[in-house]
Homo-oligomer: A and B are copies of this chain.
């Protein structure tokens, strides 16, 4: 058991949740073991099941916890005039290499090969990210444009953090921002019209 804490149910629960978040972000749903998660929280494996019922329920709790945290799509960002620039800056910052406090998107990507985990992830992405972004986009094809935007965000996380493509993982953040901003601006642009 962790030295600093003794028999505090709420604290133990938080410790397990935090450890699980780290573990899932590092190894994905399948890769992270219950014993490993428990050790990271300073308890035994059985406490995970005592507090969360099962590994699957723990994963769902982690995703819910992550979703409750800050994201690119905060209301003040969505209403800002320079949304494209903000999105680019935040995305580049979030996906910087090393032991970044990874956000939930990455956890879901790592876990997407597990069918159950992918289901949970799709549901949460849909509800939390896609719906919000779609609603904020003026013009035609808002849902599709929001989808492409999320795909770009996902792709940057994949390439910078999961694969670790050197050209992206080691790139100058300023350069990446300059590259991404016009891309975002194009998809976000207000007078988007479906012309054909």
Given contacts A126-B165, A163-B125, A186-B186, contact A154 B158 (CB under 8 A): yes
Copies of the protein in its oligomer: 2
Give chain A interface residues in 137-159, CB to chain B under 8 Å. 141, 143-148, 150-156, 158-159
Q: How many residues of A contact B (CB 8 A)?
A: 56
In the complex, which residues of chain B have a beta carbon less than 8 angstroms from the beta carbon of A28?
30, 113
- Judged by a CB distance under 8 angstroms, whether A50 is at the interface is no
What are the residues of chain B within 8 A of A141 when measuring CB–CB?
175, 179
Interface residues of A (CB under 8 A from B): 27-28, 30-31, 108-114, 118, 121-122, 125-126, 130, 134, 141, 143-148, 150-156, 158-160, 162-168, 171-172, 174-176, 178-180, 182-183, 186-187, 194, 196
Structural contact, B147 and A151, CB atoms closer than 8 A: no
A160 to B145 CA separation, bound complex (whole angstroms): 13
Q: Are B126 and A158 in contact (CB under 8 A)?
A: no
